[in-house]
Structure 1
Amino acid sequence: MVYGEVADILEVLETICNINGYKLKDILKIKKQKKKVNDGFDDKIILEKITN
């Protein structure tokens, strides 16, 4: 991904936060807390498909 695309994604997230009355700093705080519990996505393990 290039920087411009990442910037676009961040802009979309900021807009969603603003529309819903969320503060980006609060979302980032929650992200940090969740990463402590769930280890985050640093291992690049991605769920691609679910089957029944």
Structure 2
Amino acid sequence: MMVLLGNKSHKDNYKPNKASAGGKNVIVRKSPVERKGRMLAVKAFTIYG
């Protein structure tokens, strides 16, 4: 469930970023945070799964 929710939010966040002119800055800032979130989600999924 966490992975699916993360993917949904990830896609929803990217759509407006690409449309906006300053989306590149937002993507650059979010990329490290999203990677950390994915790492934690994967670890939690492997532990509980």
Q: Same fold, TM exceeding 0.5? A: no
TM range (shorter): 0.3 to 0.5
- Is the radius of gyration larger for structure 1 or structure 2? 1
Give the TM-score of the pair, scaled to structure 2: 0.38
- Greater share of residues in helix: 2
Give the TM-score of the pair, scaled to structure 1: 0.36
